[in-house]
Amino acid sequence: MTFRISQRGKEYLETAQTLLRTARTMTDSAIASQIKALADDYERRAEKASHADAAKAFARSAAS
């Protein structure tokens, strides 16, 4: 199933990408790993937000 990413999801993905770029420049591998884990969390948030926003949009259209 494909879905469009919501604006909120795009913002989460942009944050995740920024965190990953930052992690790549880190010399401390422990901190880099924590930043990568945070980026993974933001990617999950992007997916959840997009699904939730799509469901809300569908509910609004169904109510009309």
What digits encode the pLDDT tens for the residues 40-63? 999 999 999 999 988 888 888 888
Tell me which long-range contacts 51-59 makes (C-beta under 8 A, separation of at least 24): 51/3, 53/6, 53/7, 53/8, 53/9, 54/3, 54/4, 54/6
Report the share of the chain in percent with pLDDT over 90: 67
Query: CB-side exposure of 40: number of CA atoms within 13 Å?
Result: 6
pTM of the model: 0.81
Cα distance between residue 22 and residue 42, in whole Å:
14
Cα distance between residue 45 and residue 40, in whole Å:
9
